[in-house]
Amino acid sequence: MQVTEPLRPRSRKVKILATLGPASSKPEMIRKLMFAGADAFRINMSHGDQKSKAKLVEAIRALEKELKRPTTIVFDLQGPKLRVGSFEGGSAQLEKGRKVILDQEDAPGNAHRMELPHPELFAAIGPGDRLLIDDGKVRLKVLESGETSIKAEVMVGGTVSNSKGVNVPDVVVPIPALTEKDRSDLEFALEQGADWIALSFVQRPEDVAEARSLIGEKAALMAKIEKPAAIDRLNDIIALADGVMVARGDLGVELPPEDVPPLQNRIVACARQFGKPVVVATQMLESMITSPTPTRAEVSDVATAIYDGADAVMLSAESAAGKYPIEAVSMMDSIANSVERDPVYSSRIHFTETRLEPTIADALSGSSRQIANTVNAKAMVVFSKSGSTARRIARERPPVPILAMSPSQTTSRRMGLYWGVHSVHSRDVSAFEEMVGKAKRMVLRHHLAAGGDRIVIMAGIPFGTAGSTNVLHVVRLVGDELERHTTPE
């Protein structure tokens, strides 16, 4: 029997972003993932064709309509891929200490030379810079570089096969973040109604600005932090983006592994200070691709991201191509609930000090958490046309759930990655009394409060004007409120 009631809000605040793929492409599987705990879905444009992605969107939107729950879709663009050419016999063994030449000649490589079909790299790279092949399994150090060839020494040897990826961690690679494929995929994603676009290969603020010029206001823009160069311009990049993703897989290739945890903490804290949602991603429950249970270290890793204050944690191959997609989502849901029940969780996520802007909206958002604590409120209700007020409140990490109502379906969907926010697409209000009555009805309908509880309401007057938040109101629910207010929304 299909569910017709709205899906109840999660008991946890942190969101789960699940990647869809071969193991989770059927509508019934997507539905199971949602009930297991997935709050949003990632569509990875690095694999598959646009036609198959359109079917995923269709399935998600059908589920959204059935469950009456605005559902977030993140389209993740592939970005540029640097690769070596082909090899005689398909591979070559590079010995540590040997010298190797990389050039632009379209000819099969061997243990002494290989093709690097990216002319732009030759001018950018210099002596001492590193070339990491196949996710860093083979490492080269540049000795000499010219316009057409690079001489390097093998620092870590191994087998290199056809078209393996190349990472260049020590330079800003002079290529744009958007390839022709990305531009085509971006146009497709916007036509499909993408809620968020995740931009790969971000190195500079200019990369974000270029994508923004193409996206406009059609979708929110998430900058993936996966290049060391992006760390040097982190504040500028986050300022231009709507959110960020800590893409630890590529960061862990281009940086020493021991540097990734403190960088993760720094990126999460920086995003929190800007009031932008931050997703921690890659290899979170990696062993669950083939195992029904995770390692203890993976459980601790997910918990650490949640203690750091991340808005969302993401599953990649675990839900896209693994044998146990439902179990992976359920495990992440269980970890999140366990962490948030920890008495020290609240103090941990408030280690990061958030700076308020000198605006009425920020002043009210900043004080809302203290007010909710003081009056022992059970929920916060925010009327938000653009979603900015809900984002501000989420930044403060209040102790109660945030019910965010918006007349904009686009806004309702985008808010699905905001910490602690349960979004509802609902028609706007036009008067103060209507606002109070609707807030009461909706928290009761969504089981966030009961008779006798207090709730905190935030809105802007005049109603329907984006960015006008100037009202904070505390009310108490009466016992028969739900029975007296049954008007459909």
Longest dimension (CA), the chain: 81
User: How much is the pLDDT for 479?
Assistant: 62
User: How much is the pLDDT for 430?
Assistant: 86
Residues, the chain: 489
180: left (phi over 0), alpha (psi -120 to 50) or beta: alpha
User: How much is the pLDDT for 367?
Assistant: 87
CA 284 to chain centre: 13
Q: How far apart are CA 480 and CA 242, in angstroms?
A: 41
Annotated active-site residue 233? The verdict is no
HEC profile for 309-376? CCCEEEECHHHHCCCCHHHHHHHHHHHHHHHHHCCCHHHHHCCCCCCCCCCHHHHHHHHHHHHHHHCC
State both tokens at 221.
Answer: 């823009």
Q: How far apart are CA 198 and CA 186, in angstroms?
A: 10
- Under DSSP, the state recorded for 37 is T
From the candidates 61, 81, 83, 212, give the one annotated as an active-site residue: 83
Nearby residues of 286 by Cβ (< 8 Å), 6 or more positions away? 298, 317, 318
User: How much is the pLDDT for 308?
Assistant: 94
Strand partners, 314: 17
Q: How far apart are CA 194 and CA 19, in angstroms?
A: 14
Annotated active-site residue 476? The verdict is no
3-state secondary structure of 185: helix
User: How much is the pLDDT for 409?
Assistant: 96
**In the chain, which residues have pLDDT < 70?**
1-6, 464, 466-467, 479-489
161: left (phi over 0), alpha (psi -120 to 50) or beta: beta
Any idea which architecture 88-167 has in CATH?
A: Beta Barrel (2.40)
Q: How far apart are CA 268 and CA 305, in angstroms?
A: 9
Determine the Cα angle at 358 with ends 354 and 362, to 5°.
55
CATH 3.40.1380.20 domain extents, the chain: 360-484
User: How much is the pLDDT for 122?
Assistant: 94
3-state secondary structure of 98: coil
From the candidates 12, 15, 42, 227, give the one annotated as an active-site residue: 42
Q: Tokens 């995923």, residue?
A: 56
CATH 3.20.20.60 domain extents, the chain: 15-79+176-345
Q: What CATH class is the domain 360-484?
A: alpha beta
* Distance, first Cα to last Cα, the chain: 24
State both tokens at 135.
Answer: 């996710």
The answer to whether the beta carbons of residues 62 and 30 sit under 8 Å apart is no
Annotated active-site residue 224? The verdict is yes
Annotated active-site residue 282? The verdict is yes
Q: How far apart are CA 398 and CA 321, in angstroms?
A: 36
From the candidates 71, 282, 389, 469, give the one annotated as an active-site residue: 282
Annotation: CATH topology of 15-79+176-345: TIM Barrel (3.20.20)
Q: How far apart are CA 167 and CA 169, in angstroms?
A: 6
Q: What percent helix, strand, coil does the chain show, rounded to 5?
A: 40, 25, 40
Q: How far apart are CA 216 and CA 381, in angstroms?
A: 29
CATH 2.40.33.10 domain extents, the chain: 88-167
The answer to whether the beta carbons of residues 247 and 224 sit under 8 Å apart is yes
User: How much is the pLDDT for 481?
Assistant: 53
